[in-house]
């Protein structure tokens, strides 16, 4: 079971009844329905109509009364990346709490790929033009962050050739003359 309280069957998601999050459940499915069962007793906990790829299904009684602690942790992590990332994550959660967890996880994954500054900038644009995870992801794919130029490298970082020479045992020693012949 995923942190959002759903089980995944053929890349579609089905909400598990409250009180089962963090516990094992048994799942049976066919072409029409998905059944969530108690693994100990085999009792039917919930039956859902089968959904298409990427779709969600939940029974109205299964909606959590308050935000889950794991979701609150994701929202807090998003806020530490940048103010716009945090705001977009909060907006996604407010718009559709069921699907928001996976989208917030997607924002965090984008941060690992593109960096916090680029994702925060993309989220700022997304908040203005279309507050969706997909918009931020596509924006980053089409506007990747510029690579570092030589002027952006810190002057305290030495040239890579000095490290290579050091590893190969050819580093100049203190007191050696560059002009002296061996």
Q: What is the mean pLDDT of residues 18-39?
A: 86
Q: Where are the domains of the chain?
A: 6-62, 69-142
Q: Do β-strands 56-57 and 12-15 pair in parallel, antiparallel, or remain unpaired? A: parallel
Using only C-alpha atoms, the chain has a radius of gyration, in whole angstroms, of: 25
The mean of the pLDDT values for the chain is 82
pLDDT at 53 exceeding the cut of 90:
no
Closest CA to 105 of 117, 93, 95: 93
Mean pLDDT along residues 72-96: 91
For 138-148, write each residue's pLDDT tens digit.
999 998 776 65
Q: What is the mean pLDDT of residues 121-131?
A: 90
Can you give the pLDDT at residue 66?
73
Q: What is the DSSP letter of 159?
A: P
Whole-model pTM? 0.57
């Amino acid at each position: 079971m995923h942190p959002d309280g759903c089980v995944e069957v053929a890349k579609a998601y089905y909400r598990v009844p409250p009180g089962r999050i963090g516990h094992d459940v048994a799942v049976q499915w066919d072409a029409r329905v998905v059944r969530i069962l108690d693994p100990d007793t085999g009792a039917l906990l919930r039956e859902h109509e089968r959904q298409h790829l990427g779709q969600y299904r939940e029974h109205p009684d299964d909606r959590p009364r308050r935000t889950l602690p794991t979701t609150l942790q994701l929202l807090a992590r998003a806020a530490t990346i940048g103010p716009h990332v945090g705001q977009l994550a909060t907006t996604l959660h407010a718009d559709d709490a069921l699907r928001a967890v996976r989208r917030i996880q997607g924002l965090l994954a984008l941060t690992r790929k593109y960096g916090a500054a680029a994702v925060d900038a993309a989220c700022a644009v997304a908040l203005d033009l279309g507050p969706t995870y997909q918009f931020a992801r596509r924006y980053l794919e089409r506007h990747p962050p510029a690579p570092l130029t030589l002027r952006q490298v810190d002057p305290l970082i030495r040239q890579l050739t000095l490290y290579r020479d050091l590893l190969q045992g050819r580093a100049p020693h203190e007191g050696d003359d560059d002009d002296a012949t061996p």
